[in-house]
């Protein structure tokens, strides 16, 4: 490790800002190539307050956040990156009132590209509500 | 319709009408929607595309009681979204008996320069 500080440990210590702060996204757990983030339910996520229908928008934002964190967990480097593409399969609807969890794994990294997959659930990883894959590219030189 | 929902209001998404009378959604940039510094959060752009598809499909179905369920959606991010307003327009590609195909494009200052596109499958109840 040529960096004086582990980039992932640094990431975990940063207070949420921007859209992460608006959604209330927080870190749950992590490993050598994965990160699990969560987002508490808010009535602002509803598409139809009467029917208790939750928008899938926060799900996508949480996936994006978890996938980015998983890449830093694997590379232990702080590199500028951008989401190239993202695909979400909606296995079932999210439930109103439940915290969303997204566990993303960075399963491969090349010099310029990182590949991730992500499982979204409501506290029980074996009962996912969405599954996603996303690829990112490193925008900086090198 | 979509713009009245709590989630669209959280993001600051409203309705927008093009000079040719066609409609879409507009997202007002704000610091609460920022991802990496100086850029809109990818998930926010994705949400705008998704809501634009839902809006186009519900207009096409023209039946408030019929709410199609998202099966999946694929997004391509073409350019970083700057911290300025963002427009999205969606198209219903096909309405079948069971499945609806829709796609959407999103741009900022120039409609000819898209920053993201999305394709969605929905299941009809």
Rounded to two decimals, the ipTM of the complex is: 0.93
Nearest C-alpha of chain B: how many angstroms from A64?
Answer: 6
Rounded CA-CA distance A78/A69 in Å is: 10
Domains of chain B: total = 1
Which chain B residue's Cα is nearest to A91? B71
What's the mean pLDDT in B57-81?
Answer: 92
Euclidean distance between CA atoms A137 and A139, whole angstroms:
6
When pLDDT is averaged across residues B61-66 and rounded to a whole number, the result is 84
**Distance (Å, rounded) from C-alpha A138 to C-alpha A68?**
11
Domain that holds residue B54: 2-123
Contact across the interface for B77 and A82, Cβ inside 8 Å: yes
Residue A132 has pLDDT above 90, yes or no: yes
CB within 8 Å of B67: residues ≥ 6 apart: A53, B58, B125
Tell me, what's the pLDDT at A142? 61
CA dist A34 → B92, B109, B119 (Å): 37, 37, 27
Instruction: Tell whether A89 lies on the interface with B, counting CB pairs under 8 A.
Output: yes
Looking at beta carbons, which residues of chain A come within 8 Å of B50?
A: 56-57, 60
CATH number at residue B45: 3.10.129.10
Helix, strand, or coil (residue A35): strand
Between A28 and B36, residue with greater pLDDT: A28
Q: pLDDT digit string (tens) for A89-117?
A: 999 999 999 999 999 999 999 999 999 99
DSSP category for residue A100: E
Tell me what the mean pLDDT of segment B33-40 comes to: 91
Q: Assess whether pLDDT exceeds 80 at residue A3.
A: no
Over residues B46-55, the pLDDT tens digits come to: 999 999 999 9
Q: A5 pLDDT band (50/70/90 cuts)?
A: confident
**A88 touching B (Cβ < 8 Å):** yes
What is the gyration radius of the CA atoms in chain B, in angstroms?
14
Residue A2 has pLDDT above 70, yes or no: no
Do the Cβ atoms of B77 and A49 come within 8 Å?
A: no
Report CA-CA distances (Å) from B75 to A76, A86, B2, B119.
27, 5, 20, 7
Q: Is B111 exposed, middle or buried (0-12, 13-18, 19+ CB in 10 A)?
A: exposed
Q: What is the pLDDT of residues A26-70, one digit of tens each?
A: 999 999 999 999 999 999 999 887 788 899 999 999 999 999 999
A22–B80 CB contact, under 8 Å: no
Query: How far away is chain A from the Cα of B74, in angstroms, using its nearest Cα?
Result: 4
- Say whether pLDDT at A4 is over 60: no
Test A60 with B6 for CB contact under 8 angstroms. no
Which pLDDT band holds residue B27 (cuts at 50, 70, 90)?
very high
Cβ-based neighbour number of residue A21 at 10 Å: 13
Token pair recorded at residue A109: 């990294």
pLDDT of residue A129: 97
Q: Which residue has the higher pLDDT, A50 or B9?
A: B9
Query: Which domains does chain A show, CATH number per domain?
Result: 7-138 (3.10.129.10)
pLDDT band at A14 (very low <50, low <70, confident <90, very high): confident
Q: Contact B73/A87, CB-based, under 8 Å?
A: yes
Confidence at residue B67, expressed as pLDDT on a 0 to 100 scale: 85
pLDDT tens digits along B96-108: 999 999 999 999 9
pLDDT band, residue B120 (cuts 50/70/90): very high
């Amino acid at each position: 490790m040529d960096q004086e500080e582990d980039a992932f440990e640094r990431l975990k210590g940063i207070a949420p800002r921007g859209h992460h702060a608006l959604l209330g996204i927080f870190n749950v757990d992590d490993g050598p190539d994965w990160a699990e983030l969560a987002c508490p339910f808010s009535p602002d996520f509803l598409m139809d307050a009467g029917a208790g229908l939750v928008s899938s928008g926060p799900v996508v934002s949480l996936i994006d956040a978890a996938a980015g964190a998983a890449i830093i967990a694997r590379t232990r480097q702080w590199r500028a990156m951008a989401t190239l593409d993202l695909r979400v399969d909606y296995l079932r609807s999210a439930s109103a009132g439940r915290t969303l969890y997204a566990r993303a794994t960075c399963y491969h990294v090349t010099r310029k590209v990182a590949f991730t997959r992500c499982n979204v659930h409501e506290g029980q990883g074996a009962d996912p509500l969405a599954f996603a894959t996303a690829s990112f590219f490193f925008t900086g030189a090198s | 319709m979509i713009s009245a929902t709590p989630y669209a209001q959280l993001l600051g998404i409203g309705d927008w009408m093009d000079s040719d009378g066609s409609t879409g959604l507009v997202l007002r940039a704000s610091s609460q929607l920022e991802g990496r510094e100086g850029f809109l959060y990818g998930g926010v752009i994705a949400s705008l595309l998704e809501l634009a598809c839902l809006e186009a499909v519900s207009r096409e179905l023209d039946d408030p009681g019929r709410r199609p369920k998202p099966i999946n959606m694929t997004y391509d991010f073409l350019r970083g979204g700057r911290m300025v307003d963002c427009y999205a327009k969606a198209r219903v590609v096909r309405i079948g008996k069971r499945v609806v195909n829709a796609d959407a494009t999103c741009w900022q200052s120039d409609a000819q320069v898209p920053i993201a596109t999305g394709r969605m499958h929905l299941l009809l109840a």
